[in-house]
């Protein structure tokens, strides 16, 4: 079993626990240890799409991590929690004095590129420790802001003090931080009440398998839902090698190719068999990066 599996994560389970459940099920139905990974965590309380790598595809995790994301989030104005979400402890409450139209203007003002500070309870590393590990011990940490892009932000519902938004954003954007920033701009703070990831790149939660359903599936059922590695890497330019060069690529040798593009590429042979990932450098030289044969 090699490929990408789209899984709909339920609420109240960690991303790592979900991976372990899938791994255990695979061993039960195949009798073998199969590598399973994920391409980006979802918070414990959040639900939605997780792109799961299976078998040889676990070697490609890094390439999926940078894909854009889409989320649907509900925030509550007037309360701030230490985690910026419903799991946290309320540390401040303020009266919210804005009306619905003002809130709409504030929300839509976040369609931009800007420097966003991650929440104190996040997986960011600080001197080898995760930020949330330090936060749990009461250690205050200063996290570096990161440039993020909100490509679009759609208001789905406002029922004061609650608001629901759909956000299309760059990888690395924290929706918990975004909701708090909306609340801060409104003058009363806010936290995330619910969060669901609906898209990762072109992959949609509508095509995902619910975890409880996956854990009842047979090996054949799962294989029928696996997205082939070659197809999953839709975001890479595809190049075809002449037969004489197939073996050279597989052996990790560098050679010139008739392509004027630069950067990472998906390498196939003339029969469209996936050989691996390469990088075209100066002077049209192809350098094998990850070989899959």
Please list the active-site residues. Answer: 43
Residues 6+ apart with CB under 8 A from 244: none
CA pseudo-torsion sign 125, 203, 36, 250: negative
Listing DSSP states for 180-195 in one string gives HHHHHHHTS-EEEEEE
């Amino acid at each position: 079993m090699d490929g990408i599996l789209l899984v709909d994560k339920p609420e109240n389970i960690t991303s790592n626990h979900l991976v372990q459940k899938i791994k255990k099920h695979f061993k039960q139905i195949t009798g073998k240890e199969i590598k399973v990974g994920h391409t980006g965590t979802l918070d414990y309380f959040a639900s939605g799409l997780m792109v799961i790598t299976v078998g040889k595809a676990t070697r490609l995790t890094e390439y999926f991590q940078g894909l854009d994301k889409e989320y649907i989030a509900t925030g509550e104005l007037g309360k701030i929690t230490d985690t910026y979400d419903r799991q946290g402890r309320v540390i401040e409450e303020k009266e919210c004095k804005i009306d619905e139209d003002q809130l709409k203007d504030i929300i839509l003002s976040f369609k931009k590129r800007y420097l966003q500070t991650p929440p104190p309870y996040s997986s960011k590393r600080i001197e080898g420790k995760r930020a949330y590990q330090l936060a749990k011990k009461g250690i205050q940490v200063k996290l570096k802001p990161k440039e993020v892009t909100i490509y679009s932000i759609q208001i789905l519902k406002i029922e004061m003090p609650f608001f629901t938004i759909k956000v299309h954003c760059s990888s690395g954007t924290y929706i918990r931080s975004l909701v708090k920033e909306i609340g801060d701009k409104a003058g009363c703070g806010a936290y995330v009440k619910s969060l669901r990831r609906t898209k990762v790149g072109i992959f949609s939660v509508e095509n995902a398998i619910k975890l409880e359903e996956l854990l009842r599936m047979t090996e054949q059922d799962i294989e029928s839902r696996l997205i082939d590695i070659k197809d999953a890497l839709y975001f890479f330019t595809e190049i075809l090698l002449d037969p004489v060069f197939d073996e050279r690529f597989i052996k990790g040798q560098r050679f010139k190719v008739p392509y004027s593009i630069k950067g990472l590429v998906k390498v196939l042979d003339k029969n469209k068999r996936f050989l691996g990932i390469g990088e075209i450098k100066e002077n049209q030289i192809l350098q094998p990066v990850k070989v899959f044969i």
